[in-house]
Structure 1
Amino acid sequence: MYFAFDEDQEEFRTSLRRLLSERAPMDKVRDIATDGDYDVETWQLLVSNMGVPGLHIAEEFGGGGFSFLETAIVAQELGRALTPVPMIATTGAIEAILRLGNEQQKQELLPKLLDGSVIGSLALAGAKDTEVDGARVRATGDEPKLTGRLDYVAFGHVADLLVVPAVTPDGNAVALYVVEANSVGVTVTKRDSLDLTRPVATVELDDAPAQLLGSDAASLERVVGVVRTLLANEALGAAEAALNMAVEYAKQRVQFNRVIGSFQAVKHKCADMAISVDAAQATVMYASMCAEHESGEFVQAAIMAKGQASECLTLCASTNIQVHGGIGFTWEADPHLYFRRAKAVEPIFGNSNHHRAELADLVGI
């Protein structure tokens, strides 16, 4: 594998970064985050102009027909800009339908998600949501109805379609089900979120009608791996932004008649951030390429990428606050927004310790 994006992909990144800087600058992000909503205008623009979030989905379903690496670039740039749009939530739902749905479900559901007329959310976040003893929703009946509660569903309050993990009626497996958000028995309540740029909701299901997608363990593992990899790319982009923010401030802030970047303590902090970002880049890129090539190592690579990238973002976001000194965690400064993102991303699918334990189990250590 050649661990780099090609020229066309870098041009795509440049175009996307320019669009986000013009249409979703940090001032706009902060205003939207304060209201706890999402950037409708930018989301519609990303979908209509660039085919987000289905760049890597086959054209027969309305996707872009590109590689997974283009989708990874989108996640990185959205993470860099902290753009509050439901890209990963919707892409996760798309991936679930693509991997577990039947042909009729694919033809019926995917085009709506891919053209932006429907917003989806994959209601997976907990470390044990895909395990029988951990799933919090139960399915009953031949025509399945779901009962249970899901917390911290990303963009759940704006989603039209929810993909929900639930224990099958026989109690032997966890399957994914599609639930219409406006169905009888579905109650969605918006909640306060630590990450102001990624709103969350609680979804309560009381005999809510649902469509069964499937319970194939390998396919479900693949869906989780894709979401982990996208979260890792997003965290990497945010970490790079935090590093750049710290370096730029260190070159401008003057203390004792010298820029603070000339002090050894500040230099070392920035160097630690850069080393962490470089290491995470390699792991995240490997996971993204494994996703693209359907590698047998993808599940393990996705676990490593999510664990390492979230640790990298936590380090960079916290160090960025330290470099900024007393203003670092004030509301008026931007560093705290990256720290909030770091602490919110860290526990998704389990923290780094959980990821290491899961990886150890997979490789038989």
Structure 2
Amino acid sequence: MSTQPDLLYSEEEEALRAAVRDLLTDHCDPAGVIARTESDTPHDSEAWKALADGMGLAGLLVPEAKGGQGATHREAAVVLEELGRAVAPVPYLTSAVVATEALLACEGVDDLLADLASGRRIGALAVALNVAPGGAYKVVRHENGALHGELTAIADATAADVLLVPADDGGLYAVDAGAATVTPQVSLDLTRPVATVTFDGAAGRLLGDAEPAVRRALRAGAGLLASEQLGLADWALTDTVRYLKDRKQFNRPVGGFQALKHRLAQLWLEVVNLRAAARNAVDALANGESGEEGAVAVAVAQAYAASVAVHAAEEALQLHAGIGMTWEHPIHLYLKRAKADAIAYGTAGAHRAALAELVDLQAP
């Protein structure tokens, strides 16, 4: 029996937002993020340590009895909204959400859950970033107790300490990242790099059945990705409004021109609608609606989120005019993140197709 969705933020969630935003203001300033993307270490280990160790946010989805905070997807979504606003180069979605959810579907993995919850180790599910919940994914070969094969487009694999790897025997294995060869791939999103992971006789610890663990992990990833996209779109809108209020032409603020007002009003409506869809998805996940209702909420959010985030970033780029085209301004990071997120955990088209099947509304 489903409950009435609660789309509003609680006082605790708003307090969490303020704390995370303050932390990211100190650790993920735009100039610093841009400089990091130009280096060989795009991940910000200091910001991750502050989030995971200092604030305990890596363990939000892990029960207290297993070493976590015992919170819900609602709190994790607030964190991801703020990470999206800052395009923070930290593996929160991939480790604290996706890898953690995969482990929560397994038994006897409390030690790994505690490690990920504390931030002592970073986890990555070795499934390509573009795979949608319920979609087909590539597996490696399990032979004589060792893993062999190559997997591509694994998000944040370069930062991971432990890889959760599906194999052809149906099992999900934990592999120490040092036992695999991780080769960075060219990534559009400079703040969430992907890599090719190669296993050549790597030893793995059997965690459980891969299929239910991967399905659960990808559904949570897709649902909470909408919150990241919301944060990104909200930043793009807010910063563009601020800029157009300050920028003057013909001795009046550019934002006062009617044509630009209409564009901003349309974007505001899209962001508001995305907030409702994203909040509905995380509320369904938080209430444990893992069946059809939860799947519908996630599919609706992801069917809508990509176009709004990309549109918001494109409008920000255009309306910032010349300065928006420079490398020094962070808008290009937001546009690249929005474009990469548009295919992460399934495209909008894939989610619309899944939604049509869920509600029995087939195309003619």
TM-score normalized with structure 2 length: 0.91
Residue 218 of structure 2 corresponds to 224
Secondary structure at 1:151 match in 2: strand
Deviations 1:80-136 (A, max 9, x none): 11111111111211110111x222xx22211111111111112232336965xx433
Q: Any residues of structure 2 matched to 1:21-170 within 5 Å, and which?
A: 21-35=25-39, 36-91=41-96, 92-99=98-105, 101-103=106-108, 106-124=109-127, 125-127=129-131, 131=135, 134-141=136-143, 143=145, 145-166=146-167, 168-169=168-169
8 Å CA contact 1:243–1:270 kept in 2: the answer is yes
- SS of residue paired to 1:182: helix
Distance in structure 1 (CA, Å) of the matches to 2:302 and 2:176 = 29
- Output one character per residue of 1:242-292: Cα deviation in whole Å (capped at 9) or x when no partner: 011110111111122221111122111111211111001011101101111
Give the number of aligned pairs: 352
Offset, 1:327 = 2.6
Residue matched to 2:251: 257
Listed one character per residue, the Cα deviations across residues 163-182 of structure 1 (whole Å, up to 9, x for unaligned) are: 1233x33xxxx553322111
Counterpart secondary structure, 1:162: strand
Task: Answer whether contact 1:136 1:148 (CA < 8 A) is retained.
Answer: no
2:314 is the alignment partner of 1:318: yes
Distance in 2 (alpha carbons) for counterparts of 1:269 and 1:331: 25
Shift of residue 323 of structure 1? 0.7
Deviation, structure 1 residue 56: 2.5
Q: Supply the AA of the counterpart residue of 1:84.
A: P
Q: What is the alpha-carbon distance in structure 1 between the residues aligned to residue 310 and residue 126 of structure 2?
A: 24
> What is the alpha-carbon distance in structure 1 between the residues aligned to residue 132 and residue 286 of structure 2?
26
Q: Equivalent residue of 1:349, what SS? A: coil
Distance 1:117-1:299 versus aligned 2 partners, 3 A rule? same
Cα offset, 1:219, TM superposition: 4.7
283-292 or 347-356, larger mean C-alpha shift: 347-356
- Give me the whole-angstrom Cα distance separating, in 2, the residues matched to 1:289 and 1:218: 21
Letter in 2 for 1:11: A
**Change in 2 beyond 3 A, CA 1:207/1:304:** farther
Query: Residue 189 of structure 1: CA displacement?
Result: 0.7
The alpha-carbon distance between structure 1 residues 289 and 226, as it changes in their structure 2 partners (threshold 3 A), is same
**Change in 2 beyond 3 A, CA 1:93/1:137:** same
CA distance in 2: counterparts of 1:158 and 1:223, whole angstroms: 19
User: Is the 1:78–1:237 Cα contact (8 Å) retained in structure 2?
Assistant: yes
Correspondence list, 1:281-292, <5 A:
281-292=275-286
Distance of 1:206 and 1:129 partners within structure 2: 28
In the alignment, does 2:287 pair up with 1:293?
yes
1:293-332 CA distances to partner (integer Å, 9 max, x unpaired)? 1113112211221232222100100011111123323212
Distance in 1, matches of 2:314 and 2:166, equals: 34
8 Å Cα contact 1:137/1:147 also seen in 2: no
SS in 1 for 2:320: helix
CA distance in 1, matches of 2:212, 2:191: 32
Q: 1:307–1:355: 8 Å Cα contact kept in structure 2?
A: yes
- For the 8 Å contact 2:132–2:218, the answer to whether it is kept is no
Q: Which residue of the other structure, out of 253, 267, 273, is the alignment partner of 2:267?
A: 273
Is the CA contact (8 Å cut-off) linking 1:128 and 1:349 kept in structure 2? yes
| Counterpart-to-counterpart distance in 1, 2:84 and 2:305 | 12
Distance 1:362 1:34, change over 3 A: same
How far has the Cα of 1:346 moved from its partner?
0.7
Give the fraction of aligned pairs with identical amino acids, expressed as a percent.
38
Give unpaired runs (5+ residues) of structure 2: none
Instruction: Output the amino acid matched with 1:64.
Output: Q
Aligned to 1:208: 202
321-330 vs 230-239, greater mean Cα deviation: 321-330
Q: RMSD between aligned alpha carbons?
A: 1.9
Paired amino acid for 2:56? G
3-state SS in 2 of match to 1:280: helix
